[in-house]
Amino acid sequence: MQETYFSLDTWTLHILRLTTHFFSNAQQQAYLVGGSVRNLLLHEPCLDWDIAATGDTAQLTSQLAQQLGGFYAPMHEKASRIVLKHDQQEIIIDIAPLHGATIETDLHQRDFTINAIALSLSSLLHALDTNVAPTYIDPFSGISALEARQIRAVSSDIFIQDPLRMLRAVRFMTRYHLTIEPATERLIHQYATRLPTVAPERVHEELYMILQPENATERLRYLDRLGLFMVLFPEFQSARHMQQPALHHWDVLDHSLETVATLERLAKELQQPIEEARHSALDINQQGDIMELQRLLYEAEEQDLFHFSMLLSPQIKLGALLHDIGKTVTYACDEAGHITFYHHPQAGVPFAQQIMKRLHSSVSDRRLVQQIVAHHMRPGQLSQDQVTKRAIRRYFVDLGPSGIYVGLVALADHLSMRGPEPLTVHWQRHLATIRLMFTSYIRERKQLLPPRLIQADELMRHLHITPGPIVGQLLEAISEAQTEGQLQSKEEVIWFAEEKLQQLMPPI
């Protein structure tokens, strides 16, 4: 894997040359370390250059930033950063002091052998100038680990020093298509319970990066095998082996995990070429529902109501994972063996709030996941009856554009319920309902959610009432009547409100 040629652009080479000469003139040793060397060896793009150096690195970094014409940013007591911009390109150089007296001592304190390789800047520059293989400093055989595509711990205590490294191992595995070797897997399993000692924002960042790429369910199952999943989501403890009604193929835990996979599958089906969407395997009666749903979603993107990239975001995947978390406390089985989970969406909301808060997620992410958990059953329930404009309106009044994501997670939920079993008429009915709901919201929104003909203060003035719950009830009744075309003017609204008020007011 030791190559004599690095694929680096002219500007990056220029910056590295200037940096090398700077440290040489300062009579300080400087080494590329960590991800910089790893990415060079893997022929991966590298925009973040990590340098370990001797001397007063904060002062040296400030001086180097001036010479390079970059922005200097002290990060913490151990590292400083230079940000360089050229046309549309950006380079980040992080410079930190050596951990210990020598580079070998520094490497001994790193996490994985693939990150414990160093390359002196002078050696790199010589290799670039002479086309001769550079001399790597590789005390833990990190290069051979890269060749074997394996992640190996530098020592047995790396997870004691920083338990977050357990999640980093899974992220590296995902990002670079590696495997974690068995001895390191055993160490992770041994120290998994230490993960909660890590700052929540650090866990959040790693978990979101693990969830972002496709096949997130495979990694969630791998986290479970490593003992990390239940540490991250202890609320799922009772979900393992918790059986479900006959239509369900999976138990509660497997169903939750597989819903993330079916969400990815659904997203892929909805983004395939139009001719393939026309014959999608998910459109079991070939009625064009998948193709039409695809068109609706592209229209929603144009209206900035929806984005496919958001559909596969970590927060939506978390919503899919947690959608049935309320089943863990609502399980019931009668004498005939009939299993129920009555009111599990409502029961799941506080669990979802608790988990998202523990993960240090943003307010918007928490709200979105809560909406998925609370409302994922509504589209399926609507599909059991004739869908009315009033029901669709109430759904989107409650959820707004988030109702699109909730509806798609509801479809993924149904797909996961069936597992490998054939889809039934219930699926086609569910799909048709979602299509109808989305059509009303995306194409007929002005009719579905017309602007109010009267505001609350004006309504109270006309009716001589004071603020309270009745005002909200009147406004909601007026909006529904508007949607159904019963009210066209403010005068009609006032007459309607006067009659409604008599029905709502308790008799004297």
Residue 495: per-residue pLDDT: 79
Helix, strand, coil fractions of the chain, as percent rounded to 5: 60, 10, 30
Q: Which two tokens stand for residue 73?
A: 């940013």
CATH architecture of 160-232: Orthogonal Bundle (1.10)
328 within 8 A of 239, measured Cβ to Cβ: yes
126 within 8 A of 132, measured Cβ to Cβ: yes
Convert the pLDDT of each residue in 50-73 to its tens digit: 999 999 999 999 999 999 999 999
> Which sign does the torsion angle of CA 84, 85, 86, 92 carry?
positive
Residue 3: per-residue pLDDT: 44
For residue 197, what are the β-bridge partners? none
DSSP β-ladder status, 79-86 and 89-97: antiparallel
pLDDT in tens, the chain (508 residues): 444 456 788 899 899 999 999 999 999 999 999 999 999 999 888 889 999 999 999 999 999 999 999 999 988 767 899 999 988 889 999 999 998 899 999 999 999 999 999 999 999 888 888 878 889 999 999 999 999 999 999 999 999 999 999 999 999 999 999 999 999 999 999 999 999 999 999 999 999 999 999 999 999 999 999 999 999 999 999 999 999 998 899 999 999 999 999 999 999 999 999 888 888 999 988 888 999 999 999 999 999 999 999 999 999 999 999 999 999 999 999 999 999 999 999 999 999 999 999 999 999 999 999 999 999 999 999 988 889 988 999 999 899 999 999 999 999 999 999 999 999 999 999 999 999 999 999 999 988 988 887 888 888 988 888 888 888 888 888 888 877 778 877 788 887 888 888 888 766 5
Which amino acid makes up residue 287? Q
Right CATH for 10-148 from 3.40.50.620, 3.30.460.10, 3.20.20.450, 3.20.20.80: 3.30.460.10
- Give, to the nearest 10 degrees, the angle between helix 389-399 and helix 363-375: 150
Residue 1: per-residue pLDDT: 43
Closest CA to 248 of 36, 85, 419: 419
Residue with structure tokens 């009745």? 470
- DSSP secondary structure string, 365-426? HHHHHHHHHHHTTHHHHHTTSPPPHHHHHHHHHHHTTHHHHHHHHHHHHHHHHHTTSPP-HH
Q: How many whole angstroms separate alpha carbon 147 and alpha carbon 136?
A: 15
Q: Which two tokens stand for residue 350?
A: 């506080």
483 Cα distance to chain centroid: 36
235 within 8 A of 355, measured Cβ to Cβ: yes
Q: How many whole angstroms separate alpha carbon 383 and alpha carbon 125?
A: 67
pTM above 0.85, yes or no: yes
DSSP β-ladder status, 332-333 and 339-340: antiparallel
